[in-house]
């Protein structure tokens, strides 16, 4: 079996960003789908990266997945990584696993060791945790009413800054307090910080949040400064999460060595793909670190790839599910994936278990978004 063609679809997500899907076709009629992580204003270059890499994929055996990843990093990229490169590798790698599962007549997780669980727990994101504390509380209660038992949001007012004053600290605490009161003691609250704080603020805010029993404290400082992240972890009583800005096992190794995090959140659409996610999970297990994948991707291909990647992972904790992406994901995916009571059932069809509608994708192709208002000198 040989790869004959690779198509890309950069499409509307119903939100500010676009989604980037990849279809890999073979000479035996089997095909596979993958998805690359995207960011607003950083999506077209991702598509070009995939198209350049595609020239070196055509003619290869799609079942040689590990060799493809090795070739892409070592030979194609000369061991010079980037967000664009690893997003491209991740998308193509997922599509190859989709083909492999279809060829074997098995869901992908059965090729990775078999299911460790029958369903995957997910937390809700994209539910509207901004606005006033009262608005955040109302949105949280509505999300819990839909069956979700865990919610993530960023409680800090913008813009992102490393040094914040006490009023901003107080605003974050007030939002968390309001959401806790609205959802009760049993719903998990996951605090997102987006890598923004200096260590002194990260530590102080965490201590103020402890009475509200957050499930975790995500990326209080950047993973590019693991010593500071480890400092925060040593000085607070909340589980620290990092990983969404790290790619491949190589980036995660020093996190373990420095004991910088309790939980890792690699993203299957940018960390290197399904097998790389599985291998990162295996490394983490040896260090008593849990895996809770990041998932700012569709609830179609990206979610399916995450589900298969963690199905056989003993130290999996919980995964990310963007509730505001459901409608457009289901428009594109002929076999929608649905979260019920904060769980996603394992697919049973061969491959990833998704089948995208190419006509729908083509009908919602890329449209450049209006420019964002970015800070100028003198603006906070």
Write out pLDDT tens, residues 229-245. 999 999 999 999 999 99
On the question of pLDDT at 161 being above 90, the answer is no
Share of the chain above pLDDT 90, in %: 94
Catalytic residue among 18, 67, 201, 294: 294
The rounded distance, in Å, linking the Cα atoms of 243 and 370 is 30
Q: Among 104-108, 122-126, 160-164, 298-302, whose mean pLDDT is lowest?
A: 160-164
Res 177: pLDDT: 98
Active site residue 194: yes
Q: Look at strands 343-345 and 150-153 and give their pairing.
A: unpaired
CB burial of 201-217 (b: ≥16 within 10 Å; e: otherwise) equals: bbbbbbeebeebebbbb
Q: What is the pLDDT of residues 190-223, one digit of tens each?
A: 999 999 999 999 999 999 999 999 999 999 999 9
Mean pLDDT to the nearest integer, 119-136 = 95
Largest CA distance in the chain: 63
On the question of pLDDT at 365 being above 80, the answer is yes
Mean pLDDT to the nearest integer, 74-90 = 96
Domain limits, CATH 3.30.390.10, in the chain = 3-106
Mean pLDDT to the nearest integer, 350-357 = 98
Per-residue pLDDT band for 160 (boundaries 50, 70, 90) equals confident
The more confidently predicted of residues 129 and 204 is 204
CATH node for 3-106: 3.30.390.10
Of residues 266, 276, 308, 247, the one with CA closest to residue 93 = 276
Mean pLDDT to the nearest integer, 116-121 = 96
Mean pLDDT to the nearest integer, 6-21 = 96
Domain limits, CATH 3.20.20.120, in the chain = 110-351
**3-class state of residue 37 by DSSP:** coil
Res 55: pLDDT: 95
Res 371: pLDDT: 92
On the question of pLDDT at 380 being above 80, the answer is no
On the question of pLDDT at 88 being above 90, the answer is yes
Mean pLDDT to the nearest integer, 60-88 = 97
The pTM of the full predicted model, rounded to 2 decimals, is: 0.96
Per-residue pLDDT band for 376 (boundaries 50, 70, 90) equals confident
Q: Is the CB of residue 354 less than 8 Å from the CB of residue 102?
A: no
What would the DSSP string read from start to end of 330-371?
Answer: HHHBSS----BTTEEEPP-SSBTS--B-HHHHHHTB--PPPP
Share of the chain above pLDDT 70, in %: 100
On the question of pLDDT at 282 being above 90, the answer is yes
Query: What six digits make up the tokens of 73?
Result: 């990093």
* pLDDT mean across residues, the chain: 96
On the question of pLDDT at 258 being above 80, the answer is yes
DSSP E strands in 13-73: the ranges are 18-26, 31-36
The rounded distance, in Å, linking the Cα atoms of 290 and 6 is 35
Res 104: pLDDT: 98
On the question of pLDDT at 379 being above 90, the answer is no
CATH class of 110-351: alpha beta
The rounded distance, in Å, linking the Cα atoms of 378 and 93 is 44
- Those residues whose C-beta lies under 8 Å from the C-beta of residue 279, and which sit 6 or more positions away, are 249
Res 378: pLDDT: 81
Active site residue 201: no
Mean pLDDT to the nearest integer, 68-76 = 96
Residue with tokens 């491959």: 351
On the question of pLDDT at 227 being above 90, the answer is yes
């Amino acid at each position: 079996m040989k790869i004959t063609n690779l198509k890309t679809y950069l499409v509307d997500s119903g939100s500010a960003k676009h989604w980037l899907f990849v279809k890999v076709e073979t000479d035996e009629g089997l095909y596979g789908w993958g998805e690359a992580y995207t960011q607003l204003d950083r999506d077209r270059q991702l598509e070009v990266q995939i198209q350049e890499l595609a020239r070196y994929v055509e003619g290869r055996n799609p079942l040689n997945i590990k060799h493809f990843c090795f070739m892409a990093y070592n030979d194609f990229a000369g061991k010079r990584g980037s967000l664009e490169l690893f997003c491209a590798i991740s998308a193509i790698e997922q599509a190859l696993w989709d083909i492999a599962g279809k060829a074997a007549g098995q869901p992908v997780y059965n090729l990775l060791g078999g299911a460790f669980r029958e369903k995957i727990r997910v937390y809700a994101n994209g539910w509207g945790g901004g606005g006033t504390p009262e608005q955040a509380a109302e949105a949280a209660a509505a999300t819990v009413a839909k069956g979700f038992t865990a919610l993530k949001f960023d409680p800090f007012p913008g813009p992102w800054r490393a040094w914040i004053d006490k009023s901003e600290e107080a605003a974050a605490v007030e939002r968390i307090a309001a959401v806790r009161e609205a959802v009760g003691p049993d719903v998990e609250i996951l605090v997102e910080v987006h890598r923004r704080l200096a260590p002194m603020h990260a530590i102080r805010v965490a201590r103020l949040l402890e009475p509200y029993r957050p499930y975790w404290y995500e990326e209080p400082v950047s993973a590019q400064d693991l010593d500071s992240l480890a400092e925060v972890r040593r000085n607070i009583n909340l589980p620290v999460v990092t990983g969404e800005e790290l790619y491949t096992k190589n980036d995660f190794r020093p996190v373990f060595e420095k004991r910088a995090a309790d939980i890792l959140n690699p993203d299957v659409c940018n960390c290197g793909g399904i097998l790389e996610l599985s291998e990162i999970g295996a490394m983490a297990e040896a260090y008593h670190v849990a895996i809770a994948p990041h998932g700012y991707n569709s609830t179609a291909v990206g979610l399916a790839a995450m589900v298969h990647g963690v199905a056989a992972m003993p130290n999996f904790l919980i995964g990310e599910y963007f509730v505001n992406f459901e409608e457009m994901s289901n428009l594109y995916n002929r076999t929608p994936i649905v979260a019920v009571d904060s769980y996603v059932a394992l697919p049973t069809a061969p491959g990833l278990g998704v089948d995208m509608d190419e006509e729908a994708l083509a009908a919602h192709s890329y449209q450049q978004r209006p420019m964002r208002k970015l800070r100028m000198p003198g603006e906070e």
